[in-house]
Amino acid sequence: MGLDTAKLRIHYVKATTLNQAHMVLAYYSTPNAEPPILDNLNKLIKPASQRPDLRPVYSFNADNLWLAKTRTKHVKAGKPGQLNLWRDLTNRMQQELL
């Protein structure tokens, strides 16, 4: 689709209205931009600031892993390979491509 995948992050969040863990997709047009959130629980794509029902925990993409310090501040914490389930998924995907 022509998107720079470095601008995409999967966010692991707590969906506070459901009181459960959830994952959403965010798009960062620039490193410090407020991302719009794509979420299967909400049909509207809204900026992160308009989603008080989501409490960020961490986010990752193919290159990095970030921990959420606050709703708007995230710090790099390593590489996505540190996430066992993500590593297992990417390994299975690689095997499918063989």
Read off the pLDDT of residues 4-52 as tens digits, 9 standing for 90 and up. Answer: 888 999 999 999 999 999 999 999 999 889 999 999 999 999 999 999 9
CATH code assigned at 58: 3.10.620.30
What is the C-alpha to C-alpha distance for residues 20 and 79, in angstroms, rounded to an integer? 25
pLDDT of residue 77: 80
What is the C-alpha to C-alpha distance for residues 92 and 72, in angstroms, rounded to an integer? 33
Q: Is 61 left (phi over 0), alpha (psi -120 to 50) or beta?
A: beta
Say how many domains are in the chain: 1
Burial of 75 (0-12, 13-18, 19+ CB in 10 A): exposed
Structural domain harbouring 88:
5-97
pLDDT of residue 68: 85
pLDDT of residue 72: 72
- Residue type (1 letter), 46: K
